[in-house]
């Protein structure tokens, strides 16, 4: 079976790795030119029942634990005035329940686990610089064409597609997996659903490099893990990364067109950060937060927060499926990467269990994926709504207090 995976993110690479362990090799097509072409973002915490479970199936638990940061589970929650509401310091002997790991390190761990050119693959399992544009069904070999009883789209559950790339090249596959994120180009083969704006816009303010040396005051403020400030429909989040830098971001409940109307010049990072500092000051944010924003370096990136409809499903379609954000984009509160990796692992296991019946494999995988993603999407929406509400600080403090009481 010729398996094509579009997108070399965490979900697509997990799928490729677990398939490889079970003797089912795939090709991953990635539009970026190399693994270092674009920054992968900051840290993420892997949950035991999703992300860590996927790494177990991928045989990469030991590598993950060598890279993960137990101390990254530290957390400080404050209101916008700088009043500390909740603090969690992780003991040195604490279990690795949700340890933080740099996204780049995790992606490299997955990439390095896949066969390269020296192992029988001309370009390696991942083919870089391959921008997928669209796919068309292959004509069937049987009398009904793609829907005929003997063709790839017939009742035997097989399907086939011709993949088209931006450079004019094409590739045939039996199974196409869209692991290509929020703006998936594979998704239209299954559904006309599109992401919708959540009413929240986010700004990546950049990083403070080598914070212990360059800004020891801010390094002490943030600590070893996550530092959250919550105001009236606004949040400021700072996070210590594995390389010693501090990554800072802002989220605001604003109209969808806010980036066009706010007057900030994102092409000039220093001016944009100065404008963001002024905005926070106008809303009464305390100096620790405004100083964190102004101390950052690097690009300032506007990010509208979008989500797919909760409970999105589609009819099983021979020869094509989705995983991760392509299937269930939801607000970013810590579930997305974990679910994408579990999707990849479970799809691979389903295909390995039914190598002669990919239709059954897709039915089983999608049924379970739809159920867990709907539950996670509802929970993510609730958390996101709470964070960006007028009483977000008090509500989140109460949430963590309840969690501590039930621990």
Instruction: Return the closest-CA partner of residue 14 out of 233, 380, 341, 311.
Output: 341
- Judge residue 114's burial from the number of C-beta atoms within 10 Å of its C-beta, 0-12 exposed, 13-18 middle, 19 or more buried: buried
Task: Please indicate if the annotation marks 156 as binding a ligand.
Answer: no
Residue corresponding to tokens 């030119």: 33
Task: Please indicate if the annotation marks 45 as binding a ligand.
Answer: yes
Cα 248 to Cα 60, 229, 384, 405, distances in angstroms: 29, 11, 18, 30
CA 141/CA 144 separation, integer angstroms? 8
Query: Is residue 136 within a helix (H) or strand (E), and if so which, with residue range?
Result: strand 132-137
CA 240/CA 247 separation, integer angstroms? 7
Phi and psi torsions of 107, nearest 5°: -65, -40
Q: Are 290 and 280 in contact (CB under 8 A)?
A: yes
CA 208/CA 213 separation, integer angstroms? 10
CA 114/CA 110 separation, integer angstroms? 7
- Judge residue 1's burial from the number of C-beta atoms within 10 Å of its C-beta, 0-12 exposed, 13-18 middle, 19 or more buried: middle
CA 150/CA 331 separation, integer angstroms? 43
CA atoms within 13 A on the CB side of 398: 8
Task: Please indicate if the annotation marks 38 as binding a ligand.
Answer: yes
Residue corresponding to tokens 């958390």: 383
The DSSP-derived string for 183-197 is: T-SSGGGT-----EE
Cα 54 to Cα 97, 234, 339, distances in angstroms: 15, 33, 9
Q: Which segments are annotated as binding site for NADPH?
A: 38
Q: Which segments are annotated as binding site for FAD?
A: 45, 103, 325
Q: Which segments are annotated as binding site?
A: 38, 45, 103, 325
């Amino acid at each position: 079976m010729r398996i094509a995976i579009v997108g070399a993110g965490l979900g697509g690479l997990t799928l490729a790795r677990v398939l490889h362990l079970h003797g089912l090799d795939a090709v991953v097509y990635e539009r970026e030119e190399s693994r270092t072409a674009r920054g992968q973002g900051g840290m993420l915490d892997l949950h035991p029942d999703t992300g860590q479970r996927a790494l177990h199936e991928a045989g990469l638990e030991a590598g993950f634990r060598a890279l993960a940061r137990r101390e990254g589970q530290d957390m400080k929650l404050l209101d916008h005035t700088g009043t500390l509401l909740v603090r969690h310091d992780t003991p040195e002997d604490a279990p690795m329940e949700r340890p933080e790991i740099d996204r780049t390190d995790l992606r490299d761990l997955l990439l390095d686990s896949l066969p390269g050119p020296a192992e029988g693959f001309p370009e390696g399992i991942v083919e870089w610089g391959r921008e997928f544009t669209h796919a068309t069904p292959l004509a069937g070999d049987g009398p009904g064409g793609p829907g005929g009883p003997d063709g790839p789209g017939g009742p035997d559950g097989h399907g086939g597609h011709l993949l088209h790339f931006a450079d004019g090249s094409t590739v045939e596959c039996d199974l196409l997996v869209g692991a290509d994120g929020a703006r998936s180009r594979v998704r239209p083969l299954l559904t006309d659903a599109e992401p919708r704006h959540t009413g929240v816009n986010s700004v990546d303010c950049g990083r403070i490099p080598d914070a212990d040396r360059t800004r020891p005051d801010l390094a002490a403020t943030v600590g070893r893990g996550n530092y959250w400030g919550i105001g009236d429909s606004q949040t400021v989040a700072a996070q210590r990364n594995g390389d010693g830098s501090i990554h800072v971001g802002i989220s605001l409940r604003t109209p969808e067109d806010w980036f066009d109307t706010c007057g900030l010049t994102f092409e000039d990072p220093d001016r944009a950060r100065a404008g963001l500092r002024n905005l926070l000051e106008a809303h009464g944010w305390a100096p620790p937060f405004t100083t964190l924003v102004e101390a950052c370096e690097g690009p300032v990136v506007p990010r509208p927060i979008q989500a797919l409809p909760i409970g999105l499903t589609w009819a099983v379609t021979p020869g094509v499926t989705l995983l991760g954000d392509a299937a269930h984009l939801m607000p970013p509160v810590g579930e997305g990467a974990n679910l994408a990796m579990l999707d990849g692992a479970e799809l691979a296991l389903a295909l390995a269990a039914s190598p002669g019946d990919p239709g059954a494999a897709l039915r089983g995988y999608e049924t379970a994926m739809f159920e867990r993603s709907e539950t996670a999407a509802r929970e993510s929406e609730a958390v996101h709504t709470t964070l960006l509400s007028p009483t977000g600080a008090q509500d989140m403090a109460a949430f963590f207090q309840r969690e501590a009481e039930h621990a």
